[in-house]
Amino acid sequence: MIVSKSDYIKYYQCPKAVWLYKNRKDLIPDDIAEQMAGALANGQAVEDEAYKLFPNGVAIPSSGFKEGVDNTTKLILDKTPVIFQASFWNKDLYCRSDIIKHNPEDNTWDIYEVKSATKVKPEYIPDLAFQKICLETAGLKVNKTFVIYVNREYVRQGPIEPEKLLLTEDVSEDVDVMIEEVDNNIPKIFKLIKDREEPKARIVKQCYNPYPCMFIPHCWRDIPEHNIYNVYLGEKEIHSLLDDNIVDLSDVPVGVITRDKYKKYYEAYKTDKVLIDKVAIKKEIAKYKYPLYYLDYETNSPGIPVFDGYRPYQRMTFQYSLHVQEKPGGEVKHYEYLADKNEDPSRGLAKSLTKLIGSKGSVMAWYMGFEAGCNSEMGERYPEYAKFFEDINSRLLDLMEFFSNGLYVDKGFFGSASLKKVLPVFIPYLSYGDLNIQEGMAASDSWPMLIGSDLGKQEKKDLRNDMLKYCELDTFAMVEIFKKLNELVKY
C-alpha cells in the first residue's frame, strides 16, 4: 500500500478522509471532477507560467505511475538542472513535485511548490515536508523548499511576465520544523488505512478547511437539516455541544447562540413560526425610490489575467440582467447583456448599461457589496464611465438586508440570507431547479467556454441561452421578493 502526498494532505485535514479515499472510493460523488474543473484549470495555468521561470527545465511527460518514476530517475542521473513534475516512489511513499532544481555546487536539490493562491498558506508546509521526506528517502539531499504563488498586485500590460506575476518565498525553516511531525504521522496513516472499520470523526470545521472534502455527502448523511453548523458557532462551542451529543438545533440550550441573526433563526425553528417585523420592513421600503432598477452581474476572475489592465483574480464583469419598474404597480421591463467575444467584456457592458439606468431612482442588488465592487472597478478602468458608476453606487440598496438583518425570518432559510435559500421559501413558484445553470460559479465558469473555440455554433447558442436565463432569474426573483414585501406591510 502506498501513501502519497495527496493522501497526507487528506490526513492533515481529516484522518477519516484518507481512510475513505483508500477504502471507499465508491462514495465519491460522480460529479466531483466537474465541480473541481475550474480550480484545476486555474491551477494548471499558474503552474505553466511558473515553469517559465526556469527556462532550462525539463518536463516529465504525462504517463503512468512507474513511467513517471523511471523518467525522473533517468533525468536525475543525466544531471538535468531543473525537472518539472518529478515523481518519487520509495518505501511505500510517493509524491510528484511541481519543480525541483539541482544545486551542482553541493549536489543538493531545492523543491518548489506552485500554488494559485495569493499568499503562502499554513497547509503548504506539511505538503512540502512530505515531499522533502520522499525525496530524501529516494536518495536525494534537499537543501531548500519554496512556495511560488500569485502576486495580487501585478497588472497585466501586454504579454504575461512570469517574473512579475509570481512571487517566491523560502519556507525552509517552517518545513524543517514540521518534518518530525510529518514523519511520525506516516506510520499512523498506514495503520489507519489498513483498519477494516471506518474511523469516526467529529465534524467541527474541517469539512471545508482548507479544502472542500469530496466525502461531505457521506459524512453528513445523518446530520439533521436544522443543525448546530447552520448557526456558525466557534470551535469551542461546537465541541462543547458535541460533548453533550447535541447536533440538532432544537437541542441547543438557550444562550449558546449569541449573534442576533442566528438567534432569530433559532427562535423561528423552535417556535415553528415565521418572524416578521412589519414596522421595520415598512421603514426600509420607504428608502426605495422609483424608478427601481434591479441589477445583477456575472463575473469571471481568472488567476492569470486574460486582458490588459487586470490584476490576478480581478473580476471581469461580462453579463448583467436588469429589471426596471418606473412607478409603483407599473410594468416591469427586462434588459440584458452578455459579452460573447474574446475581448475585455466590461467596456461594452458599461456602455450598454449607461443607456438604461437613469440619474434618479434606487438601484437594487442582492448582497450589494459585490455589485458595488464591480462598479468601482469598472469606473477605475474606464474613466469615461467613472461618474456613472459612482452615481449608481450612491443609490445602491441591498434587498438581502431585509433577511440578513432579521426583518423576515423563516426556518426554511436555515439561517442564511442567500438568494438561493430565500427564494424557494419566500417565492415558492420560482426555482433555479429547472435551469441548466443553477448557481453563480457555474455561470462564471461558463463564460470562458462561451468565448473559447472548443464549442460548436449550436453548443454556444445553447450555452448563451442558459446563461441569460440564469442571470434573468436573479433579478426577476428580486422583483417578486420586493413585491411580496410591499404586500406584507400594505395593511
Give pLDDT tens digits for 422-447: 999 999 999 998 899 999 989 999 99
pLDDT of res. 33: 67
The residue from 194, 209, 232 where one domain ends is 194
In-domain check, residue 222 = no
Please name the helix (run of DSSP H) or strand (run of DSSP E) that holds residue 343, with its range, or none: none
Our measurement of the distance from residue 180's CA atom to the centroid of its chain's CA atoms, rounded to an integer in Å, reads 32
Same-domain check for residues 438 and 299: yes
State the Cα–Cα distance between residues 482 and 427, nearest whole angstrom: 11
**491, pLDDT greater than 80:** no
State the Cα–Cα distance between residues 375 and 393, nearest whole angstrom: 7
C-alpha cell at 16: 477519516
The residue from 194, 222, 238 where one domain ends is 194
Same-domain check for residues 32 and 138: yes
C-alpha cell at 295: 441589477
In-domain check, residue 260 = no
pTM (global) more than 0.85: yes
In-domain check, residue 202 = no
Our measurement of the distance from residue 278's CA atom to the centroid of its chain's CA atoms, rounded to an integer in Å, reads 36
Same-domain check for residues 164 and 298: no
When mean pLDDT is compared across 58-67, 129-138, 166-175, 404-413, the lowest value belongs to 58-67
In-domain check, residue 215 = no
Rounded average pLDDT over 328-348: 96
Full domain range(s) for residue 52: 3-194
In-domain check, residue 53 = yes
Rounded average pLDDT over 96-121: 97
CATH assignment at residue 107: 3.90.320
Please tell me the total count of domains within the chain. 2
Same-domain check for residues 189 and 285: no
The sign one gets for the Cα dihedral 133, 134, 137, 138 is negative
Pairing assessment for the beta strands 108-114 and 142-150 based on DSSP bridges: parallel
Our measurement of the distance from residue 242's CA atom to the centroid of its chain's CA atoms, rounded to an integer in Å, reads 28
CATH assignment at residue 467: 3.30.420.10
In-domain check, residue 217 = no
State the Cα–Cα distance between residues 314 and 310, nearest whole angstrom: 6
CA Rg value for the chain: 26
pLDDT of res. 41: 84
- Amino acid making up residue 136: E
Same-domain check for residues 162 and 307: no
Same-domain check for residues 175 and 300: no
In-domain check, residue 471 = yes
Our measurement of the distance from residue 183's CA atom to the centroid of its chain's CA atoms, rounded to an integer in Å, reads 31
In-domain check, residue 155 = yes
Over residues 13-71, the pLDDT tens digits come to 999 999 999 999 999 988 876 777 777 888 899 999 999 999 999 999 877 788 999 99
Do 95 and 128 form a contact (C-beta atoms < 8 A)?
no
The residue from 171, 194, 217 where one domain ends is 194
